[in-house]
Amino acid sequence: MKVDIYERFFAGLAIALLVVFFGAMVVSAFGSSVVLTNPAELVDPTQLDSTPPFDQPGVREMTPGVYEAVIIASTFQYTPNEIRVPAGSTVTFRITSRDVVHGMQMTEIPFNVMLIPGQVTQATVKFDEPGEHLLICHEYCGTGHQAMYGKVIVEDAAAQGGQ
Protein backbone atom coordinates (compact mmCIF):
# COMPACT_ATOMS: atom_id res chain seq x y z
CA MET A 1 0.00 0.00 0.00
CA LYS A 2 1.34 3.37 -0.93
CA VAL A 3 0.70 6.22 1.51
CA ASP A 4 1.39 9.71 0.37
CA ILE A 5 4.24 11.34 2.26
CA TYR A 6 2.06 14.26 3.42
CA GLU A 7 -0.64 11.90 4.59
CA ARG A 8 1.95 9.95 6.52
CA PHE A 9 3.29 13.19 8.01
CA PHE A 10 -0.12 14.41 9.21
CA ALA A 11 -1.11 10.96 10.48
CA GLY A 12 2.08 10.92 12.53
CA LEU A 13 1.41 14.46 13.77
CA ALA A 14 -2.12 13.51 14.83
CA ILE A 15 -0.84 10.51 16.78
CA ALA A 16 1.88 12.62 18.42
CA LEU A 17 -0.75 15.20 19.48
CA LEU A 18 -2.93 12.48 20.99
CA VAL A 19 0.04 11.22 23.01
CA VAL A 20 0.82 14.78 24.20
CA PHE A 21 -2.83 15.44 25.19
CA PHE A 22 -3.14 12.13 26.99
CA GLY A 23 0.12 12.84 28.80
CA ALA A 24 -1.15 16.28 29.84
CA MET A 25 -4.30 14.66 31.20
CA VAL A 26 -2.31 12.14 33.24
CA VAL A 27 -0.01 14.85 34.59
CA SER A 28 -2.89 17.13 35.59
CA ALA A 29 -4.84 14.27 37.16
CA PHE A 30 -2.01 12.87 39.29
CA GLY A 31 0.71 15.46 39.31
CA SER A 32 -0.94 18.70 40.44
CA SER A 33 -2.71 17.68 43.65
CA VAL A 34 -6.13 17.57 42.07
CA VAL A 35 -8.21 15.50 44.46
CA LEU A 36 -11.82 14.51 44.73
CA THR A 37 -13.54 15.10 48.04
CA ASN A 38 -14.06 12.18 50.40
CA PRO A 39 -16.63 9.57 49.45
CA ALA A 40 -19.84 11.51 49.76
CA GLU A 41 -21.93 11.37 52.86
CA LEU A 42 -25.54 11.24 51.70
CA VAL A 43 -28.35 13.42 52.94
CA ASP A 44 -31.97 13.93 51.88
CA PRO A 45 -32.09 17.45 50.37
CA THR A 46 -35.81 17.77 51.20
CA GLN A 47 -35.20 17.03 54.91
CA LEU A 48 -32.28 19.38 55.65
CA ASP A 49 -34.24 21.33 58.27
CA SER A 50 -34.51 18.20 60.41
CA THR A 51 -31.17 16.58 59.54
CA PRO A 52 -28.15 17.37 61.75
CA PRO A 53 -25.92 19.22 61.28
CA PHE A 54 -27.88 21.05 58.56
CA ASP A 55 -30.80 21.79 60.90
CA GLN A 56 -28.46 24.34 62.52
CA PRO A 57 -26.23 25.89 59.85
CA GLY A 58 -23.40 28.04 61.14
CA VAL A 59 -19.94 27.94 62.68
CA ARG A 60 -19.17 25.83 65.73
CA GLU A 61 -15.93 25.57 67.68
CA MET A 62 -15.24 21.85 68.06
CA THR A 63 -11.98 22.08 70.03
CA PRO A 64 -9.84 25.21 70.64
CA GLY A 65 -8.88 26.61 67.23
CA VAL A 66 -10.79 23.95 65.32
CA TYR A 67 -14.12 24.91 63.79
CA GLU A 68 -16.86 23.31 61.75
CA ALA A 69 -18.75 25.49 59.27
CA VAL A 70 -22.08 24.00 58.19
CA ILE A 71 -23.50 25.73 55.13
CA ILE A 72 -26.54 25.14 52.92
CA ALA A 73 -26.46 26.35 49.33
CA SER A 74 -29.73 27.19 47.60
CA THR A 75 -30.86 29.44 44.77
CA PHE A 76 -29.26 31.98 45.14
CA GLN A 77 -27.54 32.15 48.48
CA TYR A 78 -25.42 30.44 51.08
CA THR A 79 -26.90 29.96 54.56
CA PRO A 80 -25.24 31.46 56.50
CA ASN A 81 -23.58 33.72 53.99
CA GLU A 82 -20.95 35.05 56.36
CA ILE A 83 -18.48 32.97 58.37
CA ARG A 84 -16.28 34.52 61.05
CA VAL A 85 -13.29 32.74 62.55
CA PRO A 86 -10.11 33.95 64.27
CA ALA A 87 -6.82 33.81 62.39
CA GLY A 88 -4.91 30.61 62.97
CA SER A 89 -8.00 28.46 63.04
CA THR A 90 -8.66 25.29 61.09
CA VAL A 91 -12.14 25.14 59.59
CA THR A 92 -13.82 22.06 58.21
CA PHE A 93 -16.57 23.06 55.83
CA ARG A 94 -19.56 20.73 55.52
CA ILE A 95 -21.81 21.94 52.75
CA THR A 96 -24.74 20.63 50.79
CA SER A 97 -27.29 21.98 48.35
CA ARG A 98 -31.01 22.24 48.95
CA ASP A 99 -31.99 22.34 45.28
CA VAL A 100 -29.70 22.35 42.25
CA VAL A 101 -25.95 21.90 41.74
CA HIS A 102 -23.99 24.88 43.03
CA GLY A 103 -20.30 25.49 43.48
CA MET A 104 -18.14 27.30 45.97
CA GLN A 105 -14.79 28.89 45.31
CA MET A 106 -12.86 30.98 47.80
CA THR A 107 -10.73 33.94 46.79
CA GLU A 108 -7.00 33.74 47.64
CA ILE A 109 -7.32 30.26 49.17
CA PRO A 110 -7.08 27.02 47.19
CA PHE A 111 -10.67 25.96 47.84
CA ASN A 112 -12.99 25.01 45.01
CA VAL A 113 -15.82 22.51 45.48
CA MET A 114 -19.05 21.30 43.91
CA LEU A 115 -22.23 21.32 46.00
CA ILE A 116 -24.58 18.58 44.92
CA PRO A 117 -28.08 17.99 46.31
CA GLY A 118 -28.09 14.74 48.26
CA GLN A 119 -24.37 14.80 49.00
CA VAL A 120 -22.27 16.44 51.70
CA THR A 121 -19.14 18.17 50.46
CA GLN A 122 -16.40 18.34 53.07
CA ALA A 123 -13.14 20.24 52.90
CA THR A 124 -10.75 21.62 55.52
CA VAL A 125 -8.95 24.96 55.32
CA LYS A 126 -6.43 26.55 57.69
CA PHE A 127 -6.73 30.34 57.88
CA ASP A 128 -3.36 31.73 58.92
CA GLU A 129 -3.77 35.39 58.00
CA PRO A 130 -6.52 37.83 58.99
CA GLY A 131 -8.55 39.07 56.05
CA GLU A 132 -11.67 38.55 54.00
CA HIS A 133 -12.31 35.90 51.39
CA LEU A 134 -15.26 35.92 49.02
CA LEU A 135 -17.15 32.69 48.51
CA ILE A 136 -18.35 32.56 44.93
CA CYS A 137 -20.77 30.17 43.26
CA HIS A 138 -18.93 29.07 40.14
CA GLU A 139 -21.52 26.65 38.83
CA TYR A 140 -24.31 28.13 36.73
CA CYS A 141 -27.41 27.51 38.86
CA GLY A 142 -30.09 29.77 37.36
CA THR A 143 -31.03 33.37 36.73
CA GLY A 144 -29.57 34.65 40.03
CA HIS A 145 -26.29 32.74 39.75
CA GLN A 146 -24.12 35.83 39.39
CA ALA A 147 -25.49 37.23 42.67
CA MET A 148 -24.69 34.13 44.70
CA TYR A 149 -21.77 34.75 47.01
CA GLY A 150 -20.77 34.76 50.66
CA LYS A 151 -17.83 35.77 52.75
CA VAL A 152 -15.30 34.33 55.18
CA ILE A 153 -13.97 36.91 57.62
CA VAL A 154 -10.75 35.88 59.33
CA GLU A 155 -10.40 38.09 62.37
CA ASP A 156 -7.13 39.18 63.87
CA ALA A 157 -7.05 37.06 67.03
CA ALA A 158 -4.72 39.49 68.85
CA ALA A 159 -6.98 42.47 68.13
CA GLN A 160 -9.96 40.82 69.82
CA GLY A 161 -8.51 41.57 73.25
CA GLY A 162 -8.50 38.55 75.52
CA GLN A 163 -11.09 36.37 73.87
Q: Can you give the three-state secondary structure of the chain, one letter per residue?
A: CCCCHHHHHHHHHHHHHHHHHHHHHHHHHHCCCCCCCCCCEECCHHHHHHCCCCCCCEEEEEECCEEEEEEEEECCEEECCEEEEECCEEEEEEEEECCCCEEEEECCCCCEEEECECEEEEEEEEECCCEEEEEECCCCCCCCHHHCEEEEEEECHHHHCCC
Residues in the interface with ligand CUA (CB under 6 A) total 8
User: Which listed residue (59, 125, 148, 154) binds ligand CUA by CB under 6 A?
Assistant: 148
Nearer to ligand CUA, 71 or 154 (CB): 71
Residue 139 lies near ligand CUA (rule: CB under 6 A): yes
**How large is the greatest C-alpha to C-alpha distance in the chain, in angstroms?**
85
User: Which listed residue (116, 137, 152, 154) binds ligand CUA by CB under 6 A?
Assistant: 137
Give the per-residue contact string, 87-126, with ligand CUA (x = CB under 6 A; - = no).
---------------x------------------------
Nearer to ligand CUA, 21 or 140 (CB): 140
Among the residue ranges 12-20, 39-47, 58-66, 138-146, the one whose residues contact ligand CUA (CB under 6 A): 138-146
Nearer to ligand CUA, 152 or 154 (CB): 152
Nearer to ligand CUA, 94 or 98 (CB): 98
Strand ranges across the sheet with 131-136: 82-86, 149-155, 131-136, 102-106, 112-115
Residues 44-63 close enough to bind ligand CUA by CB under 6 A: none
Return residues touching ligand CUA (CB under 6 A). 76, 102, 137, 139-141, 145, 148
